[in-house]
Structure 1
Amino acid sequence: MSAALSPDAHVIVVRNPGTGERLGEVEAMDARRVAEVVEAAAEGQRAMSAMPAHERAELLRRVADLVEAETESLALLLAGENGKPLPQCRGEVEAAVRIFRGYAGEATRLFGRQIPMDAVPGLERHLAVTIREPLGVVAALVPFNYPVELYAHKAAAALAAGNAVVVQPPARCPLALLRVAELVDRAGAPAHAHQVVTGGVAVSQALAESPGIAAVSLTGSTAAGREIARLGSGTLKKVFLELGGNDALIVCDDADVDAAAQAVVLGRLARGNGQICCAVKRVYVQDGVHDAFVESLLGQTAKLSVGDQLLESTDVGPLIAEEAAERVEAAVGRLVADGARLVAGGGRRAAFVDPVVLVDVPASSEAFAEEIFGPVAPVASFADPADAVRMANESPYGLHAAVFTRDVNRAFSVAKLLDVGAVMINGSTAMRAENLPFGGTKDTGGHREGLHETVLDFTRQKTIVLMGAFG
């Protein structure tokens, strides 16, 4: 679906965040346009609901094949508008292909249950079964950082379950998803079963309030999640939220410090330009290995290449916009003002931020408790692992955490105590596999997204009782 612009429409200009080059423009839709799309989606939902599971599965496999055939061009388009280095964008498109194929399989595994009625006296002769039915029209609100991959989780799951889906791509980088939407049409999706609405906050709000939307799935900030949940409550629609994170990585004194430092570099500074909800955002290092860890972290950070995201050799590209880089710069300034010591990076050139390492970060710093969306690694120290767990849990967020130790008992003990959705042992928090439940606790939203979870979330159960079945 191309971004067809009416003569009087307001438009959003899409630019390369590193160079400012104009890449295209899309319509900034208003509430009236959104309402028209949602109304048409009801027809698409009826067609999807009537489609047998094997046909839905085949549709998703065709989409996957078409996207896979355009992996390189989609990666180039995404890198240009998003700012992530090209190899990472290529990997994102490949993940989306796997996700569509994964949900194709899930479309044929929407199992019901047979419930024994003889558990209740007097009902022994009856038979009860449950079946799964689609919710209706699902709104998928997609963030800028991994738009193609996270779109796939929402849209493929909705279609697999027999729903229609209305997708809102990120306003700053919608072009790759608009191309994917064209491929979904080419794959044979029913008319109006898969539509895209472009625009900013007003579009999100209109979708959340619309009585024609049965469920909203949002990946975004906690502030945005609260607003969408509030607006959605007026029509009692389901709201699925995957929100912010401030993931802690704990390095114990028996850890492999080089591996731990690498996890910070790859999981924070050099992946997604630091703009990942599950990135390593707080590092706690035990006193005995603190200096060795920092030395390794600085050595690895110095090797990172910052520059043009379209070059294969680039590790860190521009942030999504210059304003985003300014916010990161300001957050670093607040940490330094609170007593942290800047030992690497920190320079900003327009939307580019040189990867930052800070040490001696006071755990009590309010800036340390905030989610910094950029290539920043703040390091604090601790004496006892119990202190590290306490400090990690003091965050209002609870997405991922990590612990580095060679002691398996300590690893599992710490993992059990951390109030988060997932714990990585001897690895980076910035890990997401499509077949694992992904999500967190507290202000992270509580939802879990993944192949085996989302497709069920996008269905409802119906109970059917055959009276006197066992006559």
Structure 2
Amino acid sequence: MPVVTVRNPGTGELLGEVPALDAGQVAAVVDAAQEGQRAMAALPAYEREALLRRVADRIEAEQESLARLLAAENGKPITQTRGEIEAAVRIFRGYAGEATRLFGRQIPLDAVPGLARHLAVTVREPLGVVAALVPFNYPVELYAHKAAAALAAGNAVVVQPPARCPLAVLRVAQLVEQAGAPPNAHQAVVGDVAVSQQLAGSAGIAAISLTGSTEAGRAVARRAAETLKKVYLELGGNDALIVCADADVEEAARAVVLGRLARGNGQICCAVKRVYVQRPVHDAFVDALLAQTAKLTVGDQLLESTDVGPLIAEPAAERVIGAVRQLVDDGARLVAGGSRRQAFVDPVVLVDVPADSAAFAEEIFGPVAPVARFDDPDEAVRMANASPYGLHAAVFTRDISLAFSISRKLDVGGVVVNGSTALRAENLPFGGTKDTGGYREGIHDTVLDFTRQKTVVVMDAFR
């Protein structure tokens, strides 16, 4: 049987081997999930709530070992993977509560002539089997959003963990089973893009939820269209941070360092990927950014002192350096970092970046901060909106009216004022416009998206 080999991206140490499923095995999993879905749908809400709370308790009990496993296979610093596991615990508990709040409606039929004596109500029912396709950058947290939501709504879920770092997600899957999930209500399938395509095209899958690249999203959506299943996509981003002339440049620089260079090793869809600074404060901002960047420690992700670990794999680091070289060729000036050692990339700062550079318009998935200038805030908005992506944006200013004006004009899913774009709270709708996919994921939204409404009309209910 073929296997997926999992290694520490920083050291190459073998961490484990996981069986890779073939097409027949994936089909068998989907078939078995139909039985699991019926069992989940039969559970009353309070039992679904209790199940998810038991899962959260088990994750919490193994928080440190899960964080270390995730750091080892993923490359994020251990201090950050602890936060990711904490988020997963909160997410499971949040969806536990949502399981008991799947409200229907009573719709007044007396709004329609001749129907005043009848009663109409809606109820929420599970969709069926949900396929959850999880990315490598925040696998446990994003798995939690998809799997917990599916189970809360009474669905079964088939999870495809990221092939490069599946181990922590697979361990959580064991905890779900131990917590008492019905047989086949929660299953994991490990494999490559062929598995994703099979799930997307399977008639036994009612909905598919993907967090990943725009390219992957398009491929999944095309295949899913064959069976008209629901498709929920949270895709790439090229988030802009706008620094106005009245901004606190030290705080703005900190938002770039913590929201891009040191968060997830720069491998976050909502990281700060483009920085636009108004000309009067440009030099002061760059000075602050360089001073803070110089303090970052690059190294072993399992050390408490590490700020930036290895990227997910050496080819990923090569792509980042290639994008940096392209920006320099287009006229940008490299003022910090730019060296690569296997999968490690020293945090990069580029200035004088031409706004029309094709490389500037593309998403760079690594610790790179490209800085461009602007003169008028409307000019910064136009440049920010020129991207094909529309996930998050940020604006730094002390003028709240200006902040709201810029926020309204930005074509994105969320705007952060005086903070980093790399902000995701589980109770907020998260997603974007354009090539980011258009979907919004969050505990109050996703659980409803994983249900369907049924209308029941009682004729002559009123005398």
TM class by smaller structure:
over 0.9
Specify which of 317, 327, 348 is matched with residue 319 of structure 2: 327
Q: Which residue of 2 aligns with 1:248?
A: 240
State the partner residue of 2:74: 82
**2:445 aligns to what SS in structure 1?**
helix
**Aligned residue number for residue 401 of structure 2:** 409
> 2:298 aligned to 294, 306, 314, which one?
306
Cα distance in 2 between the residues matched to 1:312 and 1:189: 35
Pick aligned residue for 1:23 from 6, 15, 37:
15
| 1:229 and 2:221 are equivalent in the alignment | yes
| Cα deviation, residue 29, structure 1 | 1.2
Structure 2 matches for 1:173-252, cutoff 5 A? 173-252=165-244
TM-score normalised according to structure 2 size:
1.00
User: 1:426-452: per-residue Cα shift (whole Å, max 9, x none)?
Assistant: 000000000000000000000000000
For structure 2, the residue ranges without an aligned partner over 5 or more in a row are none
Residues 1:318 and 2:310 are matched in the alignment = yes
- Partners of 1:118 and 1:239 in 2: CA distance: 35
Cα deviation 1:40-64 (Å, max 9, x = unaligned) = 0000000000000000000000000
1:61 aligns with 2:68: no
For residue 458 of structure 1, the aligned residue among 425, 443, 450 is 450
Partner of 1:377: 369
Q: Please give the per-residue CA displacement for 1:204-238, whole angstroms capped at 9, x wherever unaligned.
A: 01100100000000000000000000000000000
Matched residue, 2:24: 32
* 1:156 pairs with 2:144: no
* Residue in structure 1 matching 2:35, options 33, 37, 43: 43
Q: Distance in 2 between matches of 1:135 and 1:31?
A: 24
> 1:111-130 residue pairs with structure 2 within 5 A?
111-130=103-122
Give the distance between the partners of 2:207 and 2:110, measured in 1 at CA: 35
Partners of 2:460 and 2:136 in 1: how far apart? Answer: 55
| 1:29 counterpart letter in structure 2 | L
User: What code does the residue aligned with 1:470 have?
Assistant: F
> SS of the counterpart of 2:5?
strand
Match of residue 110, structure 1, among 81, 102, 105: 102
2:444 is paired with a residue of what secondary structure? helix
In 2, Cα distance between the equivalents of 1:242 and 1:31? 26
Distance 2:199 2:79 in 1: 34
CA shift for structure 1 position 314? 0.2
Letter in 2 for 1:317: G
SS at match of 1:250: strand
- TM-superposed CA distance for 1:31, in Å, is 1.2
Q: What does residue 296 of structure 1 align with?
A: 288
Identify which range, 444-453 or 25-34, moves more after superposition.
Answer: 25-34
In the alignment, which of 316, 331, 334 is matched to residue 342 of structure 1? 334
Deviations 1:263-316, CA, capped at 9 Å, x for gaps: 000000000000000000000000000000000000000000000000011000
Offset at residue 27 of structure 1 (A): 1.4
Paired with 2:171 and 2:116, the residues of 1 have a C-alpha distance of 56
Taking the aligned partners of 2:324 and 2:173, their CA distance within structure 1 comes to 39
SS, match of residue 361 in structure 1: coil
State yes or no: 1:425 paired with 2:417. yes
- Return the alpha-carbon distance in structure 2 between the equivalents of residues 451 and 10 of structure 1: 36
Structure 1 runs of 4+ aligned residues shifted over 4 Å read none
Superposition CA RMSD, Å: 0.3
Partner of 1:165: 157
Equivalent position of 2:358 in the other structure: 366
Distance across 2 between alignment mates of 1:66 and 1:11: 28
What is the DSSP-based 3-state SS (H/G/I as helix, E as strand, rest coil) of the residue aligned with 1:461?
strand
Structure 1 residue 271 corresponds to structure 2 residue 290: no
Which of residues 261, 265, 270 is equivalent to 2:253? 261
CA distance in 1, matches of 2:23, 2:125: 29
CA distance in 1, matches of 2:53, 2:89: 9
Superposed displacement of residue 28, structure 1:
1.6
3-state SS of the aligned residue for 2:183?
A: coil
Aligned twin of 1:467? 459
Does 1:281 find its partner at 2:281? no
- Given residue 366 of structure 1, which amino acid in structure 2 is its aligned partner? A
Structure 1, 25-34 or 39-48: larger mean CA deviation: 25-34
Distance 1:261 1:17 in 2: 29
1:151 aligns to what SS in structure 2?
A: helix
Alpha-carbon distance, 1:30 to partner: 1.4
Is 1:398 aligned with 2:398? no
Cα distance in 2 for residues equivalent to 1:75 and 1:159: 24
1:78 counterpart letter in structure 2: L
Deviation sequence 1:2-61 (CA, Å, 0-9, x none): xxxxxxx11110000000000001112111111000000000000000000000000000
> In the aligned structure 2, how far is the partner of 1:125 from the partner of 1:158?
37
Residue 135 of structure 2 is aligned to residue 137 of structure 1: no
Per-residue displacement from partner, 1:97-123 (whole Å, max 9, x unpaired)? Answer: 000000000000000000000000000
Counterpart-to-counterpart distance in 2, 1:31 and 1:247: 37
Matches of 1:306 and 1:200 in 2, distance apart?
A: 30
- How many percent identity over aligned positions? 80
Report the secondary structure of 1:165's partner residue. strand
SS in 1 for 2:425: coil
1-side partners of 2:271 and 2:223: how far apart?
29
Structure 1: gaps of 5 or more residues: 1-8
Residue 439 (structure 2) pairs with residue 439 (structure 1):
no
- Partners of 2:23 and 2:380 lie apart in 1 by 47
Q: Deviations over 1:73-102 (max 9, x none)?
A: 000000000000001000000000000000
- Distance in structure 2 (CA, Å) of the matches to 1:206 and 1:73: 33
Question: 1:87 and 1:338 mapped to 2: Cα distance?
Answer: 36
